[in-house]
Amino acid sequence: FFDREHGGYYLVQAKDRDAMAQDKPVTDFSVPGSNPQMAMNLLKLYYYTGNEAYRDRAQALVEGFFEMCRQYPLGHGTFFMALDYLVHRPQQVAIVGPEKEGRELVDLVNRKLIKKITMLDYGQYRMRPDIFEGKAAIEGRPTAYFCKDWTCTVPLTDRQDILEMLKRPKYP
């Protein structure tokens, strides 16, 4: 629950807060701290949609908690993961095609790339994310577009070409 006055996210909504439940978790314990996890969520939304408001809010979280996390890095893995996603953009792969074959291609990409945003469009979006603008399945086959900063490679449909790209991504 966003704190509009001071930034960050509370763990509980305002009506449920009392003196014991006022925290904005940053440190990872058995689960990730909610503020760095929210930064990750906002960054992924930014990379999915291109909406800079998500990136700006994530950046404010990262900057706001940086000094605390720097003092004890071992307890803030999720925070540093969010910082990495902010500073080094993940690889984006846009896949267009029939749902079944497209999902198989998504699984293939996800097995090979560690830091990535992989999206599939098989006609399910009411409003298509920006990454899919101008992209289509070639001859009805699942088609992969490897992108960086929303600039993409030529469409790839051949599984061997896609595997080769996954070995050594060549971005535009």
Dump pLDDT digits (tens) for 91-146: 889 999 999 999 999 999 888 877 777 888 988 888 888 888 899 999 999 999 99
Q: Say if residues 54 and 43 touch (Cβ distance below 8 Å).
A: yes
| pLDDT band at residue 22 under the 50/70/90 scheme | low
Mean of pLDDT values over 139-158: 90
Joined tokens for residue 150: 């929303």
pLDDT for residue 20: 56
pLDDT at 12 over 80: no
Distance CA 123, CA 132 (A): 11
| pLDDT band at residue 31 under the 50/70/90 scheme | confident
Joined tokens for residue 171: 């971005």
Q: Is 77 helix (H, G, I), strand (E, B) or coil?
A: helix
Backbone angles phi, psi at 92, to 5 degrees: -115, 135
What burial class does residue 129 get, using C-beta atoms within 10 Å of its C-beta: 0-12 exposed, 13-18 middle, 19+ buried? middle
Mean of pLDDT values over 29-55: 91
Which tops the pLDDT comparison, 71 or 167? 71
Model confidence pLDDT, tens digit, residues 47-89: 888 899 999 999 999 999 999 999 999 999 999 999 999 998 8
Residues 6+ apart with CB under 8 A from 143: 95, 96, 97, 135, 136, 137, 155, 156, 157
Q: Say if residues 132 and 121 touch (Cβ distance below 8 Å).
A: yes
pLDDT for residue 169: 58
Please work out, in degrees rounded to the nearest 5, the angle formed at the alpha carbon of residue 98 by the alpha carbons of 128 and 101: 125
pLDDT at 171 over 80: no
